[in-house]
């Protein structure tokens, strides 16, 4: 892409942007909108949601690439009429204003009518001619930075309507807007397709990794070994010489974390594991050992191996003293089969957390320790190979996303012009 700067520039009073093309103008969002509103949750909350009716959008439905309606909710016409102030139509622009998705934005498609909750703001433009350009501009890194810096609260991400109204917008002539919109639509679509293909490849490699672990921890490495029924529905047959025992039969130590999930402190020195088995830092520790940490709520069943000093959330289960079992083999087993046992337990119901007794009685199928080590070595080698491939694919995605972000930002802020 051989993109050049504009021939002449002028100074601006906008922070982070020293100059813009001479023929461009600068406005605020309030200058190009008739109304800026936010939504509400209907009276009765989730109990009024339907499987069909008027589309009711939440922040998880709004993405920079457009609406994601796979998990959309619906409300009836009566509720829709009562919530007329939060009604949205095609040509309106939506922006998420709270939470981790703050700043995500999209233009509503043709022939759309629906409603929004309080986590979304809606821009109703004075002139729909500019809707495509404005929607693209709001996706720029410049606007994302403006939102992140100006959001309310140190701990709770939020962005109010008056702050939205103050977002700067750079306005080229209409013909230039149309060229920018057409060019970026074409170029970003190409990038998005490449990203989608890479994500599909990652998904396939992750499925291959999961199948490899599952097959190996259930059948071992000898493809000709005699099999027997394990007595466990989701496992099926296992090698005849393997044993079937509960986790507690191996004399492991079972403990729980000792801190509330809000206990982490910034600039600490010890790892603090939460219910998703992710780490922050904390200034003290309760454990100093080789351990497997298993999430008891949140991302139930997530597992992590750790050795050293650490602390953990009280719904994190900590296994140690692996005298009769190989810790890495156990990690692969839990990573592969533990969630299958949870699915059997759930039977369609929702489980917010598991009790430690469920973990104690988790059934393992195991060979002797020497065979466990061979299985671990085999899985380490092959999983590392697959992990390197997926890591490479993820790095390509990061590069493409950065290219996309930079391209949009440089064009809508006037650093470069689109080709004729």
Measured between alpha carbons, how far is 290 from 97 in angstroms, rounded to an integer? 43
Measured between alpha carbons, how far is 416 from 172 in angstroms, rounded to an integer? 12
H helices then E strands: how many in the chain?
A: 9, 24
Q: Nearest to residue 116, comparing CAs of 130, 126, 125, 106?
A: 106
Q: How many CA atoms lie within 13 A of 296 on its CB side?
A: 23
Candidate from 5-9, 78-82, 154-158 with smallest mean pLDDT: 154-158
Structure tokens at 244: 């079937």
Measured between alpha carbons, how far is 18 from 207 in angstroms, rounded to an integer? 49
Structure tokens at 213: 């672990």
How much is the pLDDT for 154? Answer: 47
Measured between alpha carbons, how far is 82 from 100 in angstroms, rounded to an integer? 29
How much is the pLDDT for 234? Answer: 83
CATH 3.90.220.20 fits 25-171, yes or no: yes
Residue 155 pLDDT exceeds 60: no
How much is the pLDDT for 409? Answer: 94
- Domain boundaries of the chain, sorted by first residue: 25-171, 221-366
Task: Give per-residue pLDDT as tens, 70-115.
Answer: 889 999 999 999 998 999 999 999 999 998 899 999 999 999 999 9
Residue 308 pLDDT exceeds 90: yes
Candidate from 177-191, 337-351, 384-398 with smallest mean pLDDT: 337-351
How much is the pLDDT for 269? Answer: 86
The average confidence (pLDDT) of the chain is 90
Q: CA 361: distance to chain centroid?
A: 32
How much is the pLDDT for 339? Answer: 75
Residue 347 pLDDT exceeds 70: no
How much is the pLDDT for 150? Answer: 84
How much is the pLDDT for 340? Answer: 74
Domain boundaries 221-366, corresponding CATH code = 3.90.220.20
Measured between alpha carbons, how far is 30 from 33 in angstroms, rounded to an integer? 5
Residue 399 DSSP one-character state: H
User: Is residue 315 a contact partner of residue 274, using CB atoms and an 8 Å limit?
Assistant: no
How much is the pLDDT for 297? Answer: 84
How much is the pLDDT for 279? Answer: 81
Residue 409 DSSP one-character state: H
> The pTM is what?
0.81
Residue 287 pLDDT exceeds 60: yes
Candidate from 112-116, 133-137, 355-359, 372-376 with smallest mean pLDDT: 355-359
Residue 39 pLDDT exceeds 60: yes
Measured between alpha carbons, how far is 311 from 273 in angstroms, rounded to an integer? 6
Q: Tell me the percentage of the chain whose pLDDT exceeds 70.
A: 94
Residue 319 pLDDT exceeds 80: yes
How much is the pLDDT for 367? Answer: 95
Candidate from 158-162, 179-183, 239-243, 277-281 with smallest mean pLDDT: 277-281
Measured between alpha carbons, how far is 246 from 235 in angstroms, rounded to an integer? 14
With the C-alpha atoms ordered 25, 31, 34, 40, is the resulting torsion angle positive or negative? positive
Residue 350 pLDDT exceeds 80: no
User: Is residue 295 a contact partner of residue 275, using CB atoms and an 8 Å limit?
Assistant: yes
Same fold: 25-171 with 221-366: yes
Strand extents, DSSP E, 59-131: 62-63, 66-67, 73-75, 87-89, 93-96, 105-107, 113-116, 120-125
């Amino acid at each position: 892409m051989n993109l050049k700067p504009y021939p002449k520039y002028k100074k601006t009073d906008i922070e982070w942007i020293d100059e813009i093309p001479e023929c461009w103008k600068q406005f605020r969002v309030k200058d190009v909108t008739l109304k800026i509103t936010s939504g509400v949750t209907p009276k009765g909350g989730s109990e009024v949601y339907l499987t069909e009716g008027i589309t009711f959008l939440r922040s998880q439905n709004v993405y920079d690439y457009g609406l994601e309606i796979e998990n959309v909710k619906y409300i009836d016409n009566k509720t829709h009429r009562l919530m007329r102030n939060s009604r949205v139509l095609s040509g309106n622009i939506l922006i998420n204003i709270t939470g981790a998705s703050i700043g995500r934005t999209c233009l509503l498609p043709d022939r759309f009518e629906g409603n929004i909750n309080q986590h979304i703001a809606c821009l109703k433009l004075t002139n729909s001619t500019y809707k495509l350009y404005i929607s693209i501009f709001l996706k720029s890194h410049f606007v994302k930075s403006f939102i992140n810096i100006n959001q309310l609260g140190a701990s709770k991400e939020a962005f109010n309507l008056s702050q939205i109204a103050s977002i700067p917008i750079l306005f080229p002539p209409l013909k230039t807007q149309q060229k920018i919109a057409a060019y970026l639509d074409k170029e970003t679509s190409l990038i998005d397709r490449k990203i989608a293909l890479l994500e599909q490849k990652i998904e396939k490699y992750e499925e291959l990794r999961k199948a490899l672990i599952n097959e190996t921890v259930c059948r071992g490495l000898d493809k000709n070994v005699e099999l027997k029924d394990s007595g466990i529905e989701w496992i099926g047959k296992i090698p005849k010489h393997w044993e079937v025992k509960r986790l507690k039969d191996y004399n492991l130590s079972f403990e729980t974390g000792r801190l509330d999930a809000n206990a982490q402190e910034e600039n600490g020195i010890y790892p603090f594991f939460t219910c998703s088995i992710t780490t922050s830092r904390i200034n003290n520790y309760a454990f100093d050992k080789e351990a497997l940490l298993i999430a008891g709520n949140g991302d139930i069943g997530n597992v992590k191996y750790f050795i050293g000093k650490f602390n953990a959330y009280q719904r994190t289960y900590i296994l140690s003293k692996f005298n009769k079992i190989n810790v890495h083999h156990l990690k692969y087993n839990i990573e592969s089969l533990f969630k299958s046992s949870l699915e059997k337990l759930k039977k369609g119901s929702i489980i917010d957390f598991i009790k430690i007794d469920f973990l104690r009685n988790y059934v393992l199928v195991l060979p002797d320790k020497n065979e466990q080590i061979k299985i671990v070595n085999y899985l380490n080698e092959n999983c590392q190979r697959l992990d390197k491939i997926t890591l490479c694919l993820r790095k390509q995605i990061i590069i493409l996303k950065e290219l996309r972000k930079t391209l949009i930002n440089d064009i809508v802020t006037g650093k470069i012009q689109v080709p004729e």
